[in-house]
Chain A
Amino acid sequence: MIDFTLSEKDEKVLAAVKEEALVCRKYARYFDDHEEEFAPAELPEAKDFKNPFALLAKRDELDSSMGVMSMLVTAGQTWGDYTVRMRRGTGGLGNAALRASGTPEQQSRWGGKTLAMAITEPGCGSDSKAVQTTAALDAGKNEWVLNGEKIFVTTGCRAEGVVVWATIDKAAGRAGIKSFIVMKGTPGFEVTHKEKKLGIRADDTAAYVFRDCRIPRDHLLGGDESIPKEGAGGFKGVMKTFNMTRPAVAAIGLGIAQAALDFTRDALAGEGVEVDWNAGTHARSAAQQELVEIEADIEAAMLGVLHATWLSGEAKPNNLEASISKAKGGEIARTATQRCIALLGSMGISLDFLLEKWFRDCRITDIYEGTGQIQRLIIARDILGYSAAELS
């Protein structure tokens, strides 16, 4: 049945998430200004709030799926702040990779650790098959030796370990790229610095260097050392991770965009500018029309996120839809915040308000986890039935 209503229980969870988010928001400016600090693992207010996620555990007939709810919760949290949480969660992007591709032994060994994911290098971003970091097998010692540089590693400073993309055979292209688990403290693995960014400044984004970093042979994610002659081999497996993370990344951006819209709507309502949903175009001012358009854009983008997630919950393929949600979500997160500032004019840029921060924070959505252009490339190949060679 096509339906968009939430059960009472789900409404309650989202209301609680919003309440928490408002508390987190109080800390947003401070940690934006103090990017060298990390937000606490738990806010002082945490003792006054029950953890709303306990309510999510049991799904009843009228409740939405866990996947759908997790997207709404994610957007609800970033509606407060991108980084600050009442209780900081564990796990990072590397954990998603571990769940998607790790052997059962690897999952039980590292599943409880927070793992970052290191893909991007100074010379390779979207073109992730151009990875330069190498992993050479020292068969005598049963060890891999890693060498290379990684940047933009989310949760990179605080993570306990990292899933690193490295090539075991540059000549093999994508097929030669494997993922390795490297724990902090391994000799030769150094966190060089925390990146300084336009937005999401409180977020922990690290740069790594690997210099003759030796790890045991069984730290190869999935355990398969072979290089297939044809196809992408393990690369496809790691790309699979993105089907799960792309809608979530879009949800993160859209939560911020929604915060910007809500702020803008309230600010304008204070000036007597409000949308009458029944009135037509000729009864709306330009500002009212813009509010309607931004709201429609955010709603469309968020529904795309929910659609991609709902599909995966139904065990249906969602490769195309995950990319659609990220392409649309990234674009709208970016443009909605731009337009909100434009609507509020010169007061919109004031640091008295968080709107300018949301504008900066949101901009990353269309870049990380595959830029908008990469998403469109994936979508185009999918709908046209083209290979990467046919459409590059």
Chain B
Amino acid sequence: MISFGPTEEQELIQQTVHEFAQSEMRERARPCDEKRELPDDFLQKSWELGLVAGAIPEAYGGGGVGRSPVTNALVLEELAWGDAPLAAAAMTPGLFVQPLLDFGTDEQKKSLLPLFAGSRFHAASLAILEPTFSFEISSLRTIAEPKGSGFSLSGKKRLVPLASTASHLLVVARGAREGVAGLEAFIVPRDAKGLSVAPEPERTLGFQCLPRFSVELERVEVPASARLGGDRGIDGARLLAMLRTASAALGLGLARGVYELALPYAKERVAFGQPIAQKQAIAFMLAEMQIEVSSIRHLVWKAASLLEHGVDASRAATLALTYANREVMKIADNGLQIFGGHGYIREYPVEMWYRNARALTVTESVSAL
């Protein structure tokens, strides 16, 4: 049944997360960006919302609310409305936990999920991006080769969030088969022999407060049990659809933040004797932002809903991400333009959001995640 109404429970979560974004993210975003710093107490406070642990079944010590890609999309929008990089940081363990929930064997779940069910923030991450100017998910350069009864992993990964503090990395590599169907994911402890995390986080245009690292894998040997999903492996297309949908949801929140700040500003800012919002040139930019924020949201919801039904969401997720990548950048761009010179100075958050928008929405944007 086609419906655009969140459940009462989802509305409550939205409200809670929105209040958190307002009180814990908005104010902190600027100093975190300037200092390229991610405060531990922020991660801990976000953890206490139960956004990651809630989805873990009670049998593994979690909240047992159930895994819901739709709820996840709603959460990501609200968090990213607060600040996209802080949102990505808070949800980074989810990049490890959610694939584990979806594809993991019972043994993998039993041994790892309890780590994330406690009251303390627990870092784990996903290593997927690589140092190439034409990154293409269907032809990864990190490879997994059979070695003995297990596998040997080799390759270079970039922009791996929280890699220095993560207990485990989920390393996505090319397996025996071609294309996305051939994607494999391996659970690798950070201290595995042959795995090295760069000592300093990478410096990037946006998402400055999210520590992301280069990671090298040099013939890292892992047992067969480290292969996510065991003999079945993973559903690469579903993993990709999840990441694309989540990335689009982050973009949605970011864009909505820009729109909601630009609108009151345009009503306050007076030029030629009247608020600039009373000029069609500006009013139409705002109308366009409203149209596109709604459009992105509907595409994200549709992809998330298909994921929730467990059906093929590749098309919907690709449409959502393609659309979001284009429109989020445009909204951030127009938002900055409405602020004029004030948009260019670092007093307002718009220049930061503009950088974050570019960092988030680049090409095959599993980038921020």
Residue A270 at the chain B interface, CB threshold 8 Å: no
Q: Which residue of the partner chain, among B135, B277, B295, B304, contacts A2 with CB atoms under 8 Å?
A: B304
Most buried by B among A3, A278, A297, A324: A278
Contact (A328, B295) CB under 8 Å given A376-B287, A384-B267: yes
Q: Which chain A residues border B179 with CB–CB below 8 Å?
A: 278-279
Asked if residues A303 and B295 are in contact (CB atoms below 8 Å), the reply is: yes
* CA of A301 to CA of B299, assembled, Å: 10
**Docked complex: B308-350 residues within 8 A CB-CB of A:** 309, 314-315, 318-320, 322-323, 326
Contact (A299, B136) CB under 8 Å given A281-B363, A327-B287: no
Chain A proximity of B130: nearest CB distance (Å): 12
Residue B102 at the chain A interface, CB threshold 8 Å: no
What is the size, in residues, of chain B's interface with A at 8 Å between Cβ atoms? Answer: 54
Contact (A282, B318) CB under 8 Å given A296-B323, A386-B277: no
Asked if residues A383 and B287 are in contact (CB atoms below 8 Å), the reply is: yes
State which of A61-69, A74-82, A179-187, A348-356 sits at the interface with chain B: A61-69
Q: Which chain A residues border B135 with CB–CB below 8 Å?
A: 280, 282
Chain A proximity of B301: nearest CB distance (Å): 5
Asked if residues A379 and B278 are in contact (CB atoms below 8 Å), the reply is: no
* CA of A68 to CA of B3, assembled, Å: 9
Chain B proximity of A333: nearest CB distance (Å): 14
Residue A342 at the chain B interface, CB threshold 8 Å: no
Asked if residues B278 and A2 are in contact (CB atoms below 8 Å), the reply is: no
Most buried by A among B135, B263, B294: B294
Q: Which chain B residues border A282 with CB–CB below 8 Å?
A: 134-136, 363-364
Residue B149 at the chain A interface, CB threshold 8 Å: no
* CA of A63 to CA of B179, assembled, Å: 37
Residue A1 at the chain B interface, CB threshold 8 Å: yes
**Docked complex: B154-206 residues within 8 A CB-CB of A:** 179-180
Our count of residue pairs bridging A and B at CB distance below 8 angstroms stands at 161
Contact (A5, B309) CB under 8 Å given A280-B136, A297-B323: yes
Residue B21 at the chain A interface, CB threshold 8 Å: no
* CA of A4 to CA of B299, assembled, Å: 10
**Docked complex: B6-65 residues within 8 A CB-CB of A:** 6-7, 10
Residue B302 at the chain A interface, CB threshold 8 Å: yes
Q: Which chain A residues border B147 with CB–CB below 8 Å?
A: none
Contact (A304, B295) CB under 8 Å given A3-B305, A283-B139, A292-B318: yes
Asked if residues A280 and B283 are in contact (CB atoms below 8 Å), the reply is: no
Q: Which chain A residues border B298 with CB–CB below 8 Å?
A: 300, 303-304, 307
Q: Which chain A residues border B299 with CB–CB below 8 Å?
A: 296, 299-300, 303
Contact (A310, B288) CB under 8 Å given A296-B323, A384-B277: no
* CA of A213 to CA of B20, assembled, Å: 66
Residue A42 at the chain B interface, CB threshold 8 Å: no
Residue A306 at the chain B interface, CB threshold 8 Å: yes
Chain A proximity of B334: nearest CB distance (Å): 13
Chain A proximity of B132: nearest CB distance (Å): 9
Residue A41 at the chain B interface, CB threshold 8 Å: no
Q: Which chain A residues border B7 with CB–CB below 8 Å?
A: 1
Residue B111 at the chain A interface, CB threshold 8 Å: no
Asked if residues B3 and A2 are in contact (CB atoms below 8 Å), the reply is: yes
Asked if residues B240 and A386 are in contact (CB atoms below 8 Å), the reply is: no
Asked if residues A4 and B301 are in contact (CB atoms below 8 Å), the reply is: yes
Asked if residues A383 and B364 are in contact (CB atoms below 8 Å), the reply is: no
Residue A293 at the chain B interface, CB threshold 8 Å: yes
Most buried by A among B2, B294, B299: B2
A47-67 vs B, Cβ < 8 Å mask (1 yes, 0 no): 000000000000001111100
Q: Which chain A residues border B180 with CB–CB below 8 Å?
A: 278-279
Residue A391 at the chain B interface, CB threshold 8 Å: yes
Q: Which chain A residues border B301 with CB–CB below 8 Å?
A: 2, 4
Asked if residues B302 and A4 are in contact (CB atoms below 8 Å), the reply is: yes
Asked if residues B322 and A1 are in contact (CB atoms below 8 Å), the reply is: no
- Whose C-beta in chain B lies nearest to the C-beta of A7? B1
Chain A proximity of B29: nearest CB distance (Å): 24
Asked if residues B322 and A327 are in contact (CB atoms below 8 Å), the reply is: no
Q: Which chain A residues border B237 with CB–CB below 8 Å?
A: 277-278
Asked if residues B286 and A383 are in contact (CB atoms below 8 Å), the reply is: yes
Residue B108 at the chain A interface, CB threshold 8 Å: no
Asked if residues B1 and A5 are in contact (CB atoms below 8 Å), the reply is: yes
* CA of A54 to CA of B19, assembled, Å: 48
* CA of A380 to CA of B263, assembled, Å: 10
Chain B proximity of A383: nearest CB distance (Å): 5
- Whose C-beta in chain A lies nearest to the C-beta of B279? A391
Most buried by A among B288, B290, B296: B290
Asked if residues A324 and B70 are in contact (CB atoms below 8 Å), the reply is: no
* CA of A225 to CA of B86, assembled, Å: 60
Chain A proximity of B304: nearest CB distance (Å): 7
Q: Which residue of the partner chain, among B1, B314, B363, contacts A64 with CB atoms under 8 Å?
A: B1
Residue A390 at the chain B interface, CB threshold 8 Å: yes
A287-301 vs B, Cβ < 8 Å mask (1 yes, 0 no): 000001101110111
Residue B306 at the chain A interface, CB threshold 8 Å: yes
Q: Which chain A residues border B290 with CB–CB below 8 Å?
A: 320, 324, 379, 383
**Docked complex: B229-274 residues within 8 A CB-CB of A:** 236-237, 240, 263, 266-267
* CA of A4 to CA of B161, assembled, Å: 33
Q: Which chain A residues border B152 with CB–CB below 8 Å?
A: none
* CA of A328 to CA of B240, assembled, Å: 28
Asked if residues B287 and A6 are in contact (CB atoms below 8 Å), the reply is: no
**Docked complex: A343-392 residues within 8 A CB-CB of B:** 376-377, 379-381, 383-384, 386, 390-391
Asked if residues B2 and A68 are in contact (CB atoms below 8 Å), the reply is: yes
Asked if residues B302 and A303 are in contact (CB atoms below 8 Å), the reply is: yes
- Whose C-beta in chain B lies nearest to the C-beta of A298? B319
Asked if residues B277 and A4 are in contact (CB atoms below 8 Å), the reply is: no
Q: Which chain B residues border A314 with CB–CB below 8 Å?
A: 5
* CA of A277 to CA of B5, assembled, Å: 28
* CA of A277 to CA of B306, assembled, Å: 15
* CA of A311 to CA of B322, assembled, Å: 27
Chain A proximity of B194: nearest CB distance (Å): 28
Asked if residues B305 and A296 are in contact (CB atoms below 8 Å), the reply is: no
Which B residues form the contact surface with A (CB < 8 A)?
Answer: 1-7, 10, 70, 134-139, 179-180, 236-237, 240, 263, 266-267, 277-278, 280, 283-284, 286-288, 290-291, 294-296, 298-299, 301-302, 304-306, 309, 314-315, 318-320, 322-323, 326, 363-364
Residue pairs across A and B with Cβ atoms less than 8 A apart, 25 shown, are: A1-B7, A3-B2, A64-B1, A65-B1, A65-B2, A278-B138, A278-B318, A280-B136, A280-B363, A281-B363, A283-B139, A292-B318, A293-B322, A299-B299, A300-B295, A310-B2, A310-B4, A310-B5, A376-B287, A377-B283, A380-B283, A380-B284, A383-B263, A383-B287, A384-B283
Across chains A and B, which 4 residue pairs bring their CB atoms closest together, nearest first?
A: A280-B364, A303-B298, A380-B283, A300-B295
